[in-house]
């Protein structure tokens, strides 16, 4: 029997499985080794799902996907100009069909499934779980931040038959969203990393955010385990929701003396941390290859979750020394500059008050070159509602306490921070990141360490690209003075 798809990948989906899962109809036999929803990323042997969105309609790209080697396409309308006999699976609604594929894949899988949510740290923690479990068996995890109503079913549909562990992220910005996701994933272990002000434009209080995150417990598989932070002011609320959901076990992590995964002590270094913790009754000393006290706590969440799966906690702790920061989420690089170099910390993917404070603390720990400065380049934190100006201005205190030398800001909300800072710390403020990028690039000098952070909608990646391009700008780049 041939166990390879027509793209020479292991078979992930057969015709009969796709038809059974979706209730679709097709006249062609095929086998698929992957799932794609973007014709630009299709590889030979993929099953292409034509999703209809607000800006693009995947049905218009079915032809391109098939030309790129897609084994077949799932669609709810046939585009014009497609050759007769093209391999199509016709369904009532392609987004619903994607959900059906995710549900079918979850039902057929023997993997131990972990669901991860939280206001901060969920993507990094998800990746750390993937990294630590991969040494103990075939492990699959959501790619990037595929954590919404189409990202989660896509991730589930990509789960290989031999997966021993599956780690899936669940995100939300409105009540009820995680409830639908967790019922699809039916995790054996559900982890909430933290409760913090994020998406607060859609919630009246942190209590409501905690309630929304707690929805993840409602989908726990029979005999499931919940993992939550023992130090959280919302511990009792979350623990009550765990009990109401009928979870078999609750495992907590933190510094609290009653935490099941308890921090004993730790030492922070510019690029890593050393940790001693008690996981259950087992004392562990380990090294976390990512900086910041927040990663010390994340490591406890990781080990508590791994304990809940029944995997080897000691082996997992040993893997934490090999963690690598993700691009846009704390990745660091040293870039050349006339007369020397500077360090860039790329934390440009997302931001809220809690993650901002953590990033500022990391910048405080950075090792500078001769004459170097600690420089923060900050874009708006989005979806914070009426309190946005106040929450932005409040960053002035941790910035001053951390000894940051210069702060560059952009966006209407960051104007409040700019005004709250002492004049000696104001590097400059612009309406958007496009205006800020050349200002920051021109102000850098050898020995500096630069943190770039903001919500995705602030487009701080523009600043990152400008700084990475400094090698090619030479002496022709415009220069501006620091200050007002």
Residue 474 has pLDDT above 90, yes or no: no
CA distance between the termini of the chain: 72
Pairing of strands 426-430, 139-141: unpaired
Q: What pLDDT, in 10s, does the model give residues 202-226?
A: 888 999 999 999 999 999 999 999 9
pTM, entire model: 0.91
Give the H or E element holding residue 115. strand 112-117
Measured N-to-C along each axis, helices 15-22 and 94-108 cross at an angle, to the nearest 10 degrees, of 110
Residues 108-135: what's their mean pLDDT?
96
282-286 CB contacts, 8 Å cutoff, 24+ apart: 282/313, 282/314, 284/313, 284/314, 284/317, 286/317, 286/318, 286/320, 286/321
Max CA distance (Å), the chain: 73
Q: What is the pLDDT of residues 328-385, one digit of tens each?
A: 999 999 999 988 999 999 999 999 999 999 999 999 999 999 999 999 999 999 999 9
Q: What is the pLDDT of residue 9?
A: 77
Q: What's the confidence (pLDDT) of residue 235?
A: 98
- Please report which confidence band the pLDDT of residue 86 belongs to, taking 50, 70 and 90 as the band edges: very high
Rounded to 5°, the CA angle 349-355-356 comes to: 90
- Residue 481 is predicted with a pLDDT of 32
User: Are the C-beta atoms of 143 and 116 separated by less than 8 Å?
Assistant: no
428-457 confidence digits (pLDDT tens):
999 999 999 999 999 999 999 999 999 999
């Amino acid at each position: 029997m041939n166990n390879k798809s027509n793209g020479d990948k292991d078979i992930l989906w057969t015709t009969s499985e796709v038809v059974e899962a979706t209730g679709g109809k097709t006249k062609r036999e095929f086998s698929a080794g992957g799932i794609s929803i973007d014709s630009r990323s299709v590889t030979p042997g993929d099953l292409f799902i034509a999703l209809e969105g607000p800006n693009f309609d995947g049905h218009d790209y079915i032809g391109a996907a098939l030309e790129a080697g897609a084994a077949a396409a799932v669609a709810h309308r046939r585009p014009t100009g497609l050759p007769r006999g093209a391999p199509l699976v016709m369904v009532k609604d392609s987004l619903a069909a994607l959900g059906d594929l995710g549900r079918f894949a979850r039902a057929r899988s023997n993997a131990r499934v972990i669901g991860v949510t939280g206001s901060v740290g969920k993507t990094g923690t998800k990746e750390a779980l993937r990294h630590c479990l991969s040494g103990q068996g075939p492990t699959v995890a959501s790619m990037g931040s595929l954590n919404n109503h189409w990202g989660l079913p896509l991730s589930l549909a990509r789960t290989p038959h031999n997966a021993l562990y599956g780690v899936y992220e669940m995100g939300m910005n409105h009540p009820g969203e995680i409830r639908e996701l967790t019922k699809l994933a039916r995790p054996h272990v559900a982890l909430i990393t933290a409760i913090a002000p994020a998406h607060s434009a859609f919630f009246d209080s942190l209590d409501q955010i905690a309630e929304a995150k707690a929805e993840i417990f409602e989908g726990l598989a029979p005999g499931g385990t919940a993992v939550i932070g023992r130090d959280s002011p919302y511990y009792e609320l979350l623990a009550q929701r765990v009990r109401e959901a009928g979870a078999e076990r609750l495992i907590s992590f933190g510094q609290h003396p009653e935490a099941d995964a308890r921090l004993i002590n730790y030492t922070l270094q510019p690029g890593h941390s050393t940790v001693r913790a008690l996981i259950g009754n087992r004392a562990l000393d380990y090294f976390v290859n990512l900086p910041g006290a927040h990663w010390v706590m994340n490591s406890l969440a990781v080990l508590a979750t791994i304990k809940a799966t029944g995997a080897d906690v000691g082996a997992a702790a040993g893997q934490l020394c090999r963690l690598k920061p993700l691009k846009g989420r704390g990745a660091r690089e040293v870039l050349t500059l006339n007369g020397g170099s500077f360090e860039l910390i790329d934390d440009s993917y997302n931001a809220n008050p809690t993650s901002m404070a953590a990033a500022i603390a990391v910048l405080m720990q950075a090792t500078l070159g001769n004459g170097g400065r600690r420089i923060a380049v900050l874009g708006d934190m989005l979806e914070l509602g009426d309190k946005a100006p106040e929450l932005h201005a409040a960053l002035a205190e941790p910035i001053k306490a951390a000894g940051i030398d210069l702060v560059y800001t952009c966006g209407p909300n960051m104007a409040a921070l700019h005004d709250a800072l002492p004049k000696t710390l104001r590097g400059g403020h612009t309406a958007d990141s496009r205006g800020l990028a050349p200002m920051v690039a021109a102000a850098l000098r050898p020995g500096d360490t630069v943190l770039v952070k903001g919500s995705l909608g602030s487009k701080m990646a523009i600043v990152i690209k400008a700084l990475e391009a400094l090698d090619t700008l030479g002496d022709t780049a415009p220069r501006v003075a620091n200050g007002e």
